[in-house]
Chains A and B, each alone.
Chain A
Amino acid sequence: MKQGAVNLRPHDRARAWVIRIILWVILVVTLAPLLYVVSASFSSTDALSSASLIPLHATLANYVNVFSSGFLRWAWNSTEVALVVSAAQLLITSTAAYAYSRLHFLGRKYGLMVLLLLQMFPNSMAVAAIYAVLAQWGLLDRLWMYMLLLIGGSAFNIWLMKGFYDTIPIELDEAARVDGAGHFRILMSVILPLARPMLAVVFFLSMIGYYSEYILAGTVLQSPSNYTLGLGMYNLINTQFAQNWGLFSAASLLSAIPLAVAFGFLNPLMARGLTAGATKG
Chain B
Amino acid sequence: MSVIASLENGGRDSKVKRRGKIQWSAYGYISPAILTMSVLSFLPMFFTIYISFTNWSQMHFMNYQFVGWKNYVELFSKNNPLSIAFLPTLIWTLVFTFVSTTLNYFVGLILAILVNDKALTEARLYRTLLIIPWAIPALISTLSWQGLLNQNYGPINAFLHLLHIPAIPWLVAPGWAKASVILVNLWLSFPYFMTVSLGALQSIPTEQYDSAAIDGTSAFQRFAYITFPNVWRVSLPLLIPAYAATFNNFNIIFLLTGGGPARASTQFAGYTDILASSSYKIALQFNRYDLSATLSVVLFVMIGVISLINMRFTNAFKGED
User: Which residues does A use to contact B, with CB under 8 Å?
Assistant: 1-2, 4-5, 8, 12-13, 15-16, 19-20, 22-23, 26-27, 30-31, 33-34, 36-37, 39-40, 48-51, 91-93, 95-96, 98-106, 108-113, 115-133, 135-136, 148-149, 151-156, 158-159, 166-171, 183, 187, 208, 211-215, 218-219, 229-230, 233-234, 237-238, 241-242, 245, 248-249, 252, 255-256, 259-260, 263-264, 267, 270-272, 274-281
Chain B residues whose CB sits within 8 angstroms of the CB of A131 once the complex forms: 283-284, 289
Whether, in the assembled complex, B91 has its beta carbon less than 8 Å from a beta carbon of chain A, the answer is no
A271, B198: Cβ atoms under 8 Å? yes
A33-B145, A241-B147, A278-B237 known; A166 vs B14 contact (CB < 8 Å): yes
Whether, in the assembled complex, B72 has its beta carbon less than 8 Å from a beta carbon of chain A, the answer is no
Q: How far is the CB of A55 from chain B (nearest CB, A)?
A: 11
Q: Is the interface of B mostly helix, strand, loop or mixed?
A: helix
B111, A26: Cβ atoms under 8 Å? yes
Whether, in the assembled complex, B170 has its beta carbon less than 8 Å from a beta carbon of chain A, the answer is no
Q: Of the candidates B114, B129, B141, which one forms a contact with A31 in the assembled complex, judged by CB atoms under 8 Å apart?
A: B129
Whether, in the assembled complex, B217 has its beta carbon less than 8 Å from a beta carbon of chain A, the answer is no
List residues of B (114-129) whose CB comes within 8 Å of A's CBs: 114-115, 117-121, 123, 126, 128-129
Which residue in chain A gives the minimum CB-CB distance to B54?
A132
B153, A166: Cβ atoms under 8 Å? no
Q: Of the candidates B16, B25, B157, B296, which one forms a contact with A183 in the assembled complex, judged by CB atoms under 8 Å apart?
A: B25
Chain A residues whose CB sits within 8 angstroms of the CB of B111 once the complex forms: 23, 26
B26, A108: Cβ atoms under 8 Å? yes
Q: Of the candidates B199, B296, B318, which one forms a contact with A125 in the assembled complex, judged by CB atoms under 8 Å apart?
A: B296
CA distance A237 to B144 in the complex (A): 9
Chain B residues whose CB sits within 8 angstroms of the CB of A276 once the complex forms: 3, 7
B144, A37: Cβ atoms under 8 Å? yes
B10, A169: Cβ atoms under 8 Å? yes
Whether, in the assembled complex, B166 has its beta carbon less than 8 Å from a beta carbon of chain A, the answer is no
CA distance A129 to B320 in the complex (A): 36
Which 7 A-B pairs give the minimum distances between C-beta atoms?
A152-B40, A126-B44, A105-B26, A103-B26, A99-B29, A212-B139, A96-B33
CA distance A159 to B157 in the complex (A): 44
List residues of B (249-287) whose CB comes within 8 Å of A's CBs: 250-251, 254-255, 258, 276, 279-280, 282-284
A36, B155: Cβ atoms under 8 Å? yes
Whether, in the assembled complex, B214 has its beta carbon less than 8 Å from a beta carbon of chain A, the answer is no
Q: How far is the CB of B288 from chain A (nearest CB, A)?
A: 8
A22-B114, A117-B304 known; A275 vs B137 contact (CB < 8 Å): no
CA distance A275 to B258 in the complex (A): 34
Q: Of the candidates A31, A125, A151, A248, which one forms a contact with B40 in the assembled complex, judged by CB atoms under 8 Å apart?
A: A151
CA distance A239 to B147 in the complex (A): 12
B203, A279: Cβ atoms under 8 Å? yes
Whether, in the assembled complex, B200 has its beta carbon less than 8 Å from a beta carbon of chain A, the answer is yes
Chain B residues whose CB sits within 8 angstroms of the CB of A277 once the complex forms: 237
CA distance A171 to B9 in the complex (A): 11
B155, A49: Cβ atoms under 8 Å? yes
Q: Which of B45-53, B93-101, B220-228 sits within the interface?
A: B45-53
Q: Is the interface of A mostly helix, strand, loop or mixed?
A: helix
Which residue in chain A gives the minimum CB-CB distance to B315?
A281
List residues of B (7-55) whose CB comes within 8 Å of A's CBs: 7-11, 13-14, 16-27, 29-30, 32-34, 36-37, 39-42, 44-45, 47-48, 50-51
11 contacts between A and B (CB under 8 A): A4-B119, A33-B144, A33-B148, A99-B29, A111-B319, A113-B311, A120-B241, A152-B39, A230-B255, A263-B131, A275-B234
Q: Of the candidates A8, A130, A213, A259, which one forms a contact with B119 in the assembled complex, judged by CB atoms under 8 Å apart?
A: A8
B154, A49: Cβ atoms under 8 Å? yes
CA distance A123 to B258 in the complex (A): 19
List residues of B (182-228) whose CB comes within 8 Å of A's CBs: 187, 195-196, 198-200, 203
Chain A residues whose CB sits within 8 angstroms of the CB of B23 once the complex forms: 103-105, 183
Whether, in the assembled complex, B303 has its beta carbon less than 8 Å from a beta carbon of chain A, the answer is yes
Whether, in the assembled complex, B77 has its beta carbon less than 8 Å from a beta carbon of chain A, the answer is no
CA distance A33 to B186 in the complex (A): 14
CA distance A158 to B36 in the complex (A): 13
Whether, in the assembled complex, B59 has its beta carbon less than 8 Å from a beta carbon of chain A, the answer is no
Chain B residues whose CB sits within 8 angstroms of the CB of A256 once the complex forms: 135-137, 140-141
Give 19 A-B pairs besides A125-B45, A241-B147 with Cβ atoms closer than 8 angstroms: A19-B120, A115-B37, A118-B41, A118-B45, A125-B276, A128-B279, A128-B283, A129-B44, A132-B56, A151-B40, A154-B33, A155-B33, A166-B14, A212-B139, A230-B139, A263-B134, A264-B128, A267-B131, A267-B135
Chain A residues whose CB sits within 8 angstroms of the CB of B248 once the complex forms: 122, 124-125
CA distance A26 to B191 in the complex (A): 12
Which residue in chain B gives the minimum CB-CB distance to A39?
B155
Q: Of the candidates A110, A128, A133, which one forms a contact with B319 in the assembled complex, judged by CB atoms under 8 Å apart?
A: A110
Whether, in the assembled complex, B293 has its beta carbon less than 8 Å from a beta carbon of chain A, the answer is yes
Chain B residues whose CB sits within 8 angstroms of the CB of A255 once the complex forms: 137, 140
A212, B138: Cβ atoms under 8 Å? yes
